[in-house]
Amino acid sequence: MDPAVDDVSFLARSPNRVAILRVLVDEPADRRALEGAAGASRITVGRILGDLTDRHWVHGDGDEYEATRLGRLVLDAFDDLTAATDLAREIGPFIEELPRSFVDVDLRHFAGATVVRTTNADPYAVARVAAERMRDADRVEMLAHAVSSDVLEAQTAAAAAGQTSRVVYGPSLVETVADDDALRAQVRDLLATGNATVVAATEHIPVTVGVYDDETVGFAFTRDGFPSGGLVTEADAVLEWARETFERLRCAGRELTVADFE
C-alpha cells in the first residue's frame, strides 16, 4: 500500500485517533484530559499518542501533548477528504444532472444541501417540494427545463395572491408547452394574473432552477422525461450563480405574452 494511503487508513480506522488529534489541534492537553475527550482507556490513549508521535503529528513535553504543524495539516486534509466523500454520497446520483458547463459552481458549496429523492411510493416528490416552495415565497425567479401541472397550478395561485414570479423557459420547453393544450392554458392563466412574466431563452436550459425570496435555490432534475430528484440549498455561492445566470438568460431572451400561448 502507498505510505500516504496507509497513513489515511491508519487515521480513518480509529475514531479515537481522530478525536485525540482533533483535541490537540485545538489546544495542548495531558493524558488524563485526552482519556476523557476520547472516552478511551489510559493504555489506548498511550498507544495512540505513541503512534501519532512516531508520525510527527503530535509532540509531547512531559505529560503534555500538542499537535505539530504537520498534524494540523493532516487533520485539515482528512476533514476535506471526509467532507468530499460525504458530499459524493449525498449528491452523487445527481452529478450528471448538474452539467459543469452550465452549473459552474464548486461542488463543495452543495455540502449540506437537502436531497429530494423520487421513489415508487412518492414519484412526485420533486414537484411536491417545488410547489410547496412556490406557495411559501413572496418572490420567485425560475429557469425552467421542464414544467408540471402541479407546479404551474401552485405558481398561478401564488401569483394571483400577489407573489412576483419571473420565469425563463428553455427553447424546447416553449415548444412543449405550445403543443400541450392543458399546459398552454395554465401558462395563459399564470400570465393573466399580471404578477408573472415568462421569457423564452435563446439557449438550452439543462436543469430547472428556482430561486425563492433570494434566499433558497432549488434544483429539479428529470431523467427520461420523468422527475428523478432534486437539491435545495441556501449556500451563498450557489445563490450568486443562480441570480447571475437567471439575469443573463432573462435579459438575452424574449418576453412572451398571452397571445404566444393562444
Q: Where residue 225 falls among pLDDT bands split at 50, 70, 90? A: low
Asked if residue 113 lies in contact with residue 91, where contact means CB atoms within 8 angstroms, the answer is yes
The total of other beta-carbon atoms located within 10 Å of residue 103's CB is: 18
Cα gap 38→31, rounded to integer Å: 10
213 pLDDT higher than 80: yes
Q: For the segment 167-200, what is each residue's pLDDT rounded down to a tens digit?
A: 999 999 999 998 999 999 999 999 999 999 999 9
146 pLDDT higher than 80: yes
Domains and CATH numbers, the chain: 3-85 (1.10.10.10), 98-261 (3.30.870.10)
For the chain, give the percent of residues with pLDDT over 70.
Answer: 99
The predicted pLDDT at position 127 comes to 78
Asked if residue 66 lies in contact with residue 59, where contact means CB atoms within 8 angstroms, the answer is yes
Count Cβ neighbours within 10 Å for each residue of 212-225 and write b for 16 or more, e otherwise. beeebbbbbbbeee
Q: What's the whole-number mean pLDDT along residues 9-33?
A: 93
Please state, rounded to an integer, the average pLDDT across all residues of the chain. 90
The 8 Å CB, 24+ separation contacts for 11-20 are 11/74, 11/78, 12/78, 14/48, 16/40, 16/44, 16/45, 16/48, 17/48, 17/51, 17/52, 18/75, 18/78, 20/45, 20/48, 20/49, 20/52
**Reported pTM:** 0.78
